[in-house]
Amino acid sequence: MHSASRFAVPFEIDPTIWTQYSHPRRRLEWQPPPSWVVGSREGRLNSKSIFLSLVMALGFLRPAHSQIYFVSTPVNGYVQLAVEDAAGSTSAYGSGSAGFGTLNDTVYLDLNADTIREVGSVSLGGNCGFTFNDGRIVAGSNGLQSVDANVTVNLTVPSVLSFDTGVQPLLWVPAIQSYEFTASLGSVPVTGTYSVATGGQTYTGSLSYNLFTGMLLLFQQVSTSSYPAFITLTGLHGGELQHPGPQLVYFTALNGLNIELHAGEQDGTYGYGWNLKPMEIEAELIPEPSSLALLALGACTLTALHRRRRRLAFRNSTCL
């Protein structure tokens, strides 16, 4: 009796936390609760609850904004690079062309606001140079005289042409079960040089101007039948159009020859056009940074839980 009271524990011990062993000194060892035990049902539920809580919390904190898609595709098309002397004959012009290559288009689609935006670039190549004869009859000090002239032009376009359509409204069209919108390429900047040799003199200078290509339409329709994983884009086209070119150079040579260079052929216009084959193409969803961060956090969480379980399993095995 005296011996039992001598080693009596003066406080109540929770049997789920502590285990009392038959030992003269009543050694007390810590035992983890069921929710911490590896492989227990409580432990599995606790791990899942932690992970799901983190996912839901980040989901609520994630701001609402547009989905981002990307497409890269070759396009067929050209922009005519031509220069004429509007003061000369109808044959006083030269021309070449620059061809389109690969279109890279990032599409920002917001179905909550019914808006879309295209930002991207298209490769462009085919810098050209040409020479044409500009001889004609002019009035001189001794009456009418034949004057000869040779015009040489070298033109350069950017190898990559960037575009940004800005935010455009979407219009739902029930007949085609798609949205329609308006977006175009804009203009093509051109730089170069010219040289006019006439009357024993050579006149040179630089050229810098923009060719309007507003009728080169980017994608005009979007189908969301596979949303959000994919969207289908159609409507990229532009016909064989002729557009008046800007005036580039005007001067009168010492021999009385008037030079009036315009961008375009003999009628002062230039052509451009492009198309996409096949007519429709799928754009793939780009994972958002917040989604990637969420996946990374989930992976880290599961790794941490796995390591903790291994530590607890090792601790339990040493205590037994």
C-alpha dist (Å) from residue 38 to 17, 50, 310, 320:
16, 15, 8, 15
* CA Rg value for the chain: 38
> Does pTM surpass 0.75?
no
pLDDT tens by residue, 71-112:
999 999 999 999 999 988 878 999 999 999 999 999 999 999
Query: By C-alpha distance, which of 163, 70, 68, 165 is closest to 109?
Result: 68
DSSP string, 148-202: -EEEEEEEE--SEEEEE---EE-EEETTTTEEE---EEEEEEEEEEEEEEETTEE
pLDDT tens by residue, 12-62:
545 544 444 444 554 445 555 555 554 555 555 455 555 555 555 444 444
**Residue 287's pLDDT is what?**
81
State the residue for tokens 């140079």. Answer: 129
Low-confidence ranges of the chain (pLDDT < 50): 1-7, 9, 11, 13, 16-23, 26-28, 38, 45, 57-64, 291
Per-residue tokens: 162 = 């960037």
**Residue 63's pLDDT is what?**
42
Q: Is the peptide bond between 228 and the residue preceding it cis, with omega within 30 degrees of 0?
A: yes
C-alpha dist (Å) from residue 107 to 172, 229, 232, 238:
17, 13, 11, 20
CB 71 within 8 A of CB 236: no
CB 236 within 8 A of CB 182: no
**Distance between CA 126 and CA 84 in Å, rounded?**
19
First vs last C-alpha separation in the chain = 30
**Residue 198's pLDDT is what?**
93
